[in-house]
Amino acid sequence: MSQSDNLESYPPFFRPNHDIDSSENACKTSVNSDSDSDCLPVIDFLCMNPENLSQVCRDCGMFRLVNHGVPLNLLNQLQDHAKKLFSLTFEAKQDLFSSSSSSSSCCSPIAYFWGTPALTPSGDALKKGSGTQDHNWLEGLNVSLTQVSQFQYEDPLLESFRSLLEEYGRQQCRVAKTLFSTMAHDLKLCSTKSQSYLSLPTGILRVYRYFRCMDSHKRWGIDVHTDSSVISILHQDEVQGLQVFKDNQWLDVKSIHNTLIVNVGDMAQAMSDDKYLSVKHRVKVNKEKERISIGYFVFPADDAVIECSKYKPFTYADFRTEVQKDLKTLGFKIGLQKFKSTQENT
Ligand SMILES: O=C(O)CCC(=O)C(=O)O
Ligand SMILES: [Fe+2]
């Protein structure tokens, strides 16, 4: 089936001819798109050089990870399953994954959302207070890794997707743990801190499908943001879309087979006292092709107090509450700036 035959899988808002005011949310920023070279530094997971890792976290905040050890077969199967599930009708996806739709899925560890990647802790899309229609051009599945391993679906396709997610989650935990222990060593964090600063049970996966969009110069897959996590790890399919703000310009992140993209999140920037960079990034949409990506996000323990000279002591729970509040009332995230110590603000 060609992609254009499958519009029933799109939420009605994203079907062509929907009456959208295309003057809103226009993206007119220039991009440097040098098609041959890769803009990201490379870290080899098999023979990781701690000094290189430290340098790229400070200079760039995003890097490409090679030799990560996640089986290629697992990556391919996950992409295939995600494609199949996203191609179901919009109504079927809502039924399968929404928490209120049926008693059997009321504690489903997988929640379906569309139009925004900003979710409440329970996985519901966070509606922006302004009431504007500045939707992001995507739909997705939010997966709690702790819950996904304690659940079984009756539907065979869902059950095999669940077990792939569980295995993928294990692989991402392994990668995140190793990366963070090298970072913690670099930042000279004591062992109590480094244990609570990366809490593997907080890990979530986000499986995204970015829709095709005729107004691709006016719409975003995800608009400019930094991640709230400690570390985020992304696997993308062959369709390019991610851009990173580096050297004062927006650069396209290449889609390179069998590599992962890692980025330093806000929490790691704070833990490092601003030595590491939680880098701005965004996702473009494409006129012809849909794009699927899978992100892993891991956070500090809710009660771990982040202490450093540049910020007032705060927990990730404090940070999340502020971010949710700002998204609801202002429509955007202020983030770390709100937690700067008084000295830093003067
Ligand atoms: O899908 C992508 O390429 C990036 C996703 C992302 O930036 C996010 O979920 O925070
Ligand atoms: Fe992100």
The CATH superfamily label for domain 32-305 reads B-lactam Antibiotic, Isopenicillin N Synthase; Chain (2.60.120.330)
Higher pLDDT, 124 or 327: 327
Q: Is the CB of 262 under 6 A from ligand 1?
A: no
8 Å CB contact between 115 and 125? yes
For 154, the token pair is: 């009756």
HSE value, Cβ hemisphere, 13 Å, CA-based, for 57:
29
For 268, the token pair is: 């790691």
Q: What is the pLDDT of residues 258-300, one digit of tens each?
A: 999 999 999 999 999 999 999 999 999 998 999 999 999 999 9
User: In ligand 1, which atom is closest to the CA atom of 227?
Assistant: 10
pLDDT, average across residues 314-328: 95
Q: What is the pLDDT of residues 110-122, one digit of tens each?
A: 999 999 888 777 6
Share of the chain above pLDDT 90, in %: 72
Interval between CA 140 and ligand 2 midpoint (Å): 14
**Mean pLDDT computed over every residue of the chain:** 88
Q: What is the pLDDT of residue 105?
A: 45
8 Å CB contact between 233 and 261? yes
Q: What gap in Å lies between CA 55 and CA 245, rounded to an integer?
A: 17
Q: What is the pLDDT of residue 16?
A: 73
For 318, the token pair is: 């404090």
Q: What is the pLDDT of residue 143?
A: 96
- End-to-end, the C-alpha distance of the chain in Å comes to 59
- Three-state DSSP class for residue 227: coil
Strands 42-44 and 62-66: parallel
ipTM score of the complex?
Answer: 0.99
Q: Is the CB of 295 under 6 A from ligand 1?
A: yes
Give the burial class of 59: count Cβ atoms within 10 A of its Cβ; 0-12 exposed, 13-18 middle, 19 or more buried: middle
Q: What is the pLDDT of residues 167-215, one digit of tens each?
A: 999 999 999 999 999 999 999 999 999 999 999 999 999 999 999 988 7
For the chain, the structural domain boundaries read 32-305
Helix or strand (DSSP H, E) at 284: strand 281-284
Backbone angles phi, psi at 248, to 5 degrees: 65, 20
Q: What gap in Å lies between CA 315 and CA 161, rounded to an integer?
A: 33
Model confidence at 3, in pLDDT bands (50, 70, 90)?
Answer: very low
Say how far residue 285 (Cα) sits from the centre of its chain. 16
Q: What is the pLDDT of residues 96-111, one digit of tens each?
A: 886 543 344 457 899 9
Interval between CA 215 and ligand 1 midpoint (Å): 20
HSE value, Cβ hemisphere, 13 Å, CA-based, for 218:
11
Model confidence at 23, in pLDDT bands (50, 70, 90)?
Answer: very low
Q: What is the pLDDT of residues 139-169, one digit of tens each?
A: 999 999 999 999 999 899 999 999 999 999 9
The preferred substitution site among 62, 79, 208, 285 for testing ligand 1, maximizing ligand atoms within 8 Å of CB, is 208
Model confidence at 17, in pLDDT bands (50, 70, 90)?
Answer: low
Point out the least confidently predicted range of 80-89, 91-100, 128-137, 205-214. 128-137
Q: What gap in Å lies between CA 326 and CA 324, rounded to an integer?
A: 6
Interval between CA 227 and ligand 2 midpoint (Å): 5
Share of the chain above pLDDT 70, in %: 86
Higher pLDDT, 242 or 30: 242
